[in-house]
Structure 1
Amino acid sequence: MAKTNWRRLAVWSAFIALLLLIEFVPLLQRPLAPFMRASAYLEGGLYRVTNSARQRIERLIIGHDTSSRIVELESRLSLLTLHQARLVSLEEENQNLRRLLDFQESRGLSTIAARVIGKDPRAPAELRLAAGSRSGVRSGAAVISPNGALVGIVAEVGQETSVVRLLGHRLTQVPVRVLDKPQAFGLLESSGGLSLRLTQIPKNADIKPGDIIVTGFASEVVPANLTVGAILSVENDPQGLWQEATMAPLIEPAALDLVAIVIAL
């Protein structure tokens, strides 16, 4: 009987406590409401800050990787471009070598190929070549382009290199003639400009603009009939002893990278 009464008392006590809790909780929430709102605001702010920081870090990481990838791709593209340019240069060099060999065989000349290694702006009428006396180069030898045109005459010879005076050099003089006109001969000299000068042409020689000029009498290392250029204009002074003409060279020496030097006819 005592145990039953105790259980009833415990149940009623719990029921009364629940009622009191329901009644007083709203009253307790009022003074705590500002703290609860502050806590919720703080929690929301912390979430926004941490989320924003996370997004920024992700963007930085992704951006860094992307930037590194772009730099890597640009570097590879540059290497491929250089490689392609090198292949084009090698192909052009091979074609020039084939032309030189074909010209050598067709003319029965003994020549050596030489790279152009020096183009001094202070001496535009000269080229330095990577071939010298050890290769059989001699002073006065003709220097020929890949298509068989006369480039100039060797003026200085070292053991490993040589210097060629171009046709426009003030000291260059080459005996020449008009192609297919044996009586139309003269002397090629520099005019001090882009064109060249033909002097000492016989008065009775039939020459006109467009005529092709070739080397004249062969010397020990300058073959005859090398193409030199074409006549631009003719001057025939009735009072003069000779005719003169202006000539345009066939090749542009500044564009040359490979030439042939005649070492024997």
Structure 2
Amino acid sequence: MKKLFQNKFWIFAITLFFVVGIIVLNYFQIMDSVKDSLYFVLLPIQKISFKIGDSIAESFAILISIQDLNRENQKLSEEVRELTVKNVKTEELKRENQALKEALDFTEKEEARLIPGNISGLDPENPGDFVIIDKGREDGVEKDLAVIVSDGILIGRVIEVDKRSSKILLITNTESRVSGIVQDSRARGIVKGEHGLGLRMEMIPQNALLKAQDIVITAGLEESLPKGLIIGKIWEIESSDNEIFQKASIRSPISFKSLEIVFVLKNK
């Protein structure tokens, strides 16, 4: 108990000493010098502290701005993606409508019925020679009917018909044979496929006048292929005085690798 009393006494004495000391220093204006000294000592530290505080505040502000920008960019990206999808769908509808319009114009001129079909697959064994469409027997498709695109451009004929699908032999297939006629000179010949890569017209009389860009159409000698369907244009002519017939390379106006919508041609 006595020891505890002594401890309290010393604490009180030390506290009283400091209080009296501060009063004396302040009375003789010594405290002002101490304050000034402390001010000059602490001023650089204070400035550094303020700068650090400002830097931290700016860093937080930048982080918040970056987060806001990221959210805004994400929102804009979603809007761009939605617009892209809409534009793609709109463009596809335009193409389909244009193809259907051209097909309708063709049917009105030729008095024929067209069965529209989408390319649904390729023959795995001969991807460049055959295509599969999503129309079949239930839709009125029959074997050997001509298949066209757009306004009367021949691409092939039906060789197999199932209930809801059909197999089309493209005219670029080496097995394809079509009687053709050069529109200007009226020269006739046989148009054959070249391994899925192009077309070649053979058996053209040597005395027939041919020139590049002449249009070749179907001659109408096959029962299932009406006369006047566009096959393509003459690209290159092979002629020799020692040969009985001429030959010509033909280019179709369409890309067989890009086929999407086709039409099976059926007489009304």
Normalising by structure 2, report the TM-score: 0.77
The residue correspondences of 1:65-80 to structure 2 (distance < 5 A) are: 65-80=68-83
Tell me if 1:166 matches 2:170. yes
CA deviation after TM superposition for structure 1 residue 167, in Å: 1.8
The residue correspondences of 1:222-241 to structure 2 (distance < 5 A) are: 222-241=225-244
Q: Structure 2 vs 1, CA of residues 24 and 105 (structure 1 numbering), >3 Å: closer, same or farther?
A: same
Q: Structure 2 vs 1, CA of residues 53 and 180 (structure 1 numbering), >3 Å: closer, same or farther?
A: closer
CA deviation after TM superposition for structure 1 residue 104, in Å: 0.9
Amino acid at match of 1:158: D
CA distance in 2, matches of 1:104, 1:201: 31
CA distance in 2, matches of 1:63, 1:243: 73
Identity of aligned residues (%): 26
Give the gaps of 5 or more residues in structure 2: 1-22
Question: Which sits farther off after the overlay, 58-67 or 38-47?
Answer: 38-47
CA deviation after TM superposition for structure 1 residue 64, in Å: 0.6
Per-residue CA distance 1:3-52 (angstroms, 9 max, x = gap): xxxxxxxxxxxxxxxx96654331x4566776666665555544433332
2:53 partner SS: helix
1:168 partner SS: coil
The residue correspondences of 1:249-264 to structure 2 (distance < 5 A) are: 249-264=252-267
Amino acid at match of 1:72: K
2:28 partner SS: helix
Tell me if 1:24 matches 2:28. yes
Q: Structure 2 vs 1, CA of residues 201 and 21 (structure 1 numbering), >3 Å: closer, same or farther?
A: closer
CA contact (8 A) 2:115 2:265 kept: yes
Give the gaps of 5 or more residues in structure 1: 1-18
CA deviation after TM superposition for structure 1 residue 225, in Å: 1.3
Q: Structure 2 vs 1, CA of residues 138 and 31 (structure 1 numbering), >3 Å: closer, same or farther?
A: same
Q: 128, 135, 143: which one pairs with 1:139? A: 143
CA contact (8 A) 2:180 2:191 kept: yes
CA distance in 2, matches of 1:223, 1:202: 23
Tell me if 1:215 matches 2:206. no
Amino acid at match of 1:139: K
The residue correspondences of 1:138-217 to structure 2 (distance < 5 A) are: 138-179=142-183, 181=185, 184-192=187-195, 194-217=197-220
CA distance in 2, matches of 1:120, 1:42: 82
**Aligned-pair Cα RMSD in Å:** 3.0
CA contact (8 A) 1:186 1:201 kept: yes
Tell me if 1:57 matches 2:97. no
CA distance in 1, matches of 2:177, 2:142: 17
CA contact (8 A) 1:221 1:264 kept: no
Tell me the number of residue pairs that the alignment of Structure 1 and Structure 2 aligns.
245
Q: Structure 2 vs 1, CA of residues 185 and 102 (structure 1 numbering), >3 Å: closer, same or farther?
A: same
CA distance in 2, matches of 1:257, 1:118: 10
CA distance in 1, matches of 2:44, 2:141: 93
CA contact (8 A) 1:220 1:264 kept: no
CA distance in 1, matches of 2:261, 2:196: 24
Amino acid at match of 2:144: G
CA deviation after TM superposition for structure 1 residue 65, in Å: 0.5
Amino acid at match of 1:77: V
Normalising by structure 1, report the TM-score: 0.77
Amino acid at match of 1:249: S
Q: 109, 113, 116: which one pairs with 2:112? A: 109
CA deviation after TM superposition for structure 1 residue 200, in Å: 2.4
CA contact (8 A) 1:229 1:249 kept: yes
CA contact (8 A) 1:234 1:244 kept: yes
CA distance in 2, matches of 1:172, 1:107: 24
CA contact (8 A) 1:142 1:152 kept: yes
CA contact (8 A) 2:128 2:196 kept: no
